[in-house]
A = this chain, B = another copy of it.
């Protein structure tokens, strides 16, 4: 196996809805019950939390809940989408007050994450971007975003700030939309604790090769965190890992191993209609199956194949290992 540690987010037991069913397909559980249920999913040893929603009763309270559950806190995500205050952006908002509130919230998230023993936080700036032509000054948006990101990083040089890119949704166009755009803005902070979260579903949505993005981020020292899910490309369906793609997940597994990635594999799914534990559990088992397939084929075999110009022999090898 890959020896990877698996986590999932508390949101899988949240109120999961969509714009046509704001009341939710299912009512969310409280933090105690959510963490308990997550701890019961075989193979999961960490939990990714959301600040401030999961911290209503204080960070000590969360610490106790985690201690009882036996789960590690793998990361804490700062919520920059769940309040209408961010509707025109957080770090890139025109409004200085909004930007400073977003920065302050992120600093609190860093402190909370540190208290819980996590080595970093997740920053997904979903509302930063635009819907309409002529809606934002792209250059200033970039500058403001970069400034806030830098300030956040300086608050806790000992903690990783993991910037998660996504091409779109909820905005029609995201500011931090691709692996390389994320890498560029991280680089412009000139801080050593700012890197990238690759949500592989966002990579698919952006038309990227998941493995290539992992390779290139790792090469730049920016591969900080990984979110796993699957989709039909073109949209962030947040489905069970492996329900659509297979070969490319094997290629992803190879890239993660080659990169020496030692972080968490956090299963970031959105169980609209299915049972959250089943969705997370099946995703985890699929990944373990993929790593075991990788073992059977062998990293050397793959590397040797990459030396040559024929991709078909390896595809044949993969097929034999999967289908006999």
Which residues of A line the B interface, CB within 8 A?
15-26, 81-84, 87-88, 94, 126, 130-139, 142, 167-170, 172-173, 177-178, 180-181, 183-184, 206-209, 211-212, 215-216, 218-219, 231-235, 237, 239-240, 242-248, 250-251, 254-255, 270, 272-275, 278-279, 282, 285-286, 289-290, 292-293, 302, 305-312, 314-316, 318-320, 322-324
CB distance from A271 to the nearest CB of B (A): 10
Q: What number of copies of this chain does the assembly contain?
A: 4
Determine the chain B residues whose CB is within 8 A of the CB of A306 once the complex forms: 134-137
- Which residues of B have CB within 8 Å of A319? 242, 282, 285-286, 289
Instruction: Check if B289 sits within 8 Å of A132, measured CB to CB.
Output: no
Cβ contact within 8 Å between B132 and A323: no
Q: Are B172 and A316 in contact (CB under 8 A)?
A: no
Return the contact of A243 from the options B84, B247, B289 (Cβ within 8 A): B247
What residue of chain B has the Cβ atom nearest to residue A218's Cβ?
B139
Whole-angstrom CA separation of A234 from B240 in the bound complex: 22
A215 in complex: contacting residue of B138, B240, B275, B282, CB < 8 Å: B138
Query: How far does the alpha carbon of A309 sit from the alpha carbon of B135 in the complex, in Å?
Result: 7
Known: A19-B19, A132-B240, A242-B315. A211 touches B138 (CB 8 A): yes
